[in-house]
């Protein structure tokens, strides 16, 4: 027999921990697929050995990997928006959309605006900005938990510095949403509008009823995104 270790962890606790780390969540889904494939090849019994990593089903690995997708519009990002910042924001948005907020609270829809803070200053405002005195960046994993716990509770958008990844504001409202068209609610119109302002913004919008699906805007372009990023898989 091979030596191993056993740890007892309550299912709810395990889910909460795994949901905070996209790479861990991905490998957990991958293992679950391998476990099912392994059991389907065996005669049902109360006694079984878990699948060895060396014997994992390659087709199941490829199927899981195919679910990951490239970041839309990555090649079209303006100079004031870095790809790493956008990807960090998309991962954070996916975490909230899929798993909600701390203490198992559901999210109520949100918008993340990634752009140039200086140019955005004339495009909207925040009546109360709890992040004005803090230096928190979505690129720093140690502070992402603080952002997750505090940035998604208020109305209005979260504004991120496209170069540094710093949280500029939360509860931020777009001044002019006339470029957002006539379809959708206020959040949809504002997201479409601000994507075309301040030299171009990358905007992530999540509806209240979303369990993972995001709508991404850059300039006049839009895309529905409902997958983990390929970078998450490559990071593993």
As given in the structure block, the two tokens for residue 91 are: 């991962």
- Mean per-residue pLDDT for 215-233? 86
Question: What is the model's pLDDT at position 141?
Answer: 83
194 contacts: CB under 8 Å, gap ≥ 6: 113, 115, 120, 123, 124, 157, 174, 177, 201, 203
Region 167-173: what's the mean pLDDT?
92
pLDDT tens-digit profile of 142-166?
888 888 888 898 889 999 999 999 9
User: Distance between CA atoms of 125 and 173, rounded to whole angstroms?
Assistant: 5
**Mean pLDDT, the chain, whole residue set:** 83
First to last CA, the chain: 28
Report the alpha-carbon distance of residue 223 to residue 69 in Å, rounded.
12
**In 72-201, which ranges are E strands?**
110-115, 124-126, 157-161, 167-174
pLDDT score of 226 more than 60: yes
Average pLDDT, stretch 78-90? 96
The H-or-E segment that residue 36 falls in is helix 22-40
């Amino acid at each position: 027999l091979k030596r191993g270790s056993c740890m007892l962890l309550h299912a709810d606790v395990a889910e909460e921990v795994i949901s905070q780390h996209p790479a861990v969540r991905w490998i957990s889904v991958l293992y679950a697929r391998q476990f099912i494939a392994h059991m389907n090849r065996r005669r049902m019994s109360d006694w079984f050995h878990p699948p060895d990593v060396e014997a994992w089903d390659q087709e199941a690995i490829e199927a899981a990997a195919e679910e990951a997708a490239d970041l839309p519009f990555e090649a079209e990002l303006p100079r004031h928006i870095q790809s790493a910042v956008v990807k960090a924001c998309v991962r954070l948005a996916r975490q909230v959309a899929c798993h909600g907020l701390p203490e198992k609270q559901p999210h109520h829809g949100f918008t993340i605006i990634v752009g140039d803070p200086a140019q955005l200053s004339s495009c909207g405002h925040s009546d109360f900005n709890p992040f004005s005195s803090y230096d928190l960046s979505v690129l720093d994993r140690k502070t992402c938990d603080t952002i997750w716990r505090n940035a998604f509770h208020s109305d209005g958008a979260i504004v991120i510095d496209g170069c540094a990844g710093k949280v500029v504001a939360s509860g931020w409202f777009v001044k002019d949403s006339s470029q957002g068209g006539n379809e959708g609610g206020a959040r949809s119109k504002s997201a479409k509008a601000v994507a075309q302002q301040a030299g171009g913004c990358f905007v992530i919008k999540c509806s209240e009823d979303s369990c993972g699906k995001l709508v991404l805007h850059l300039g006049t372009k839009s895309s529905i995104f409902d997958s983990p990023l390929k970078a998450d898989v490559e990071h593993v």
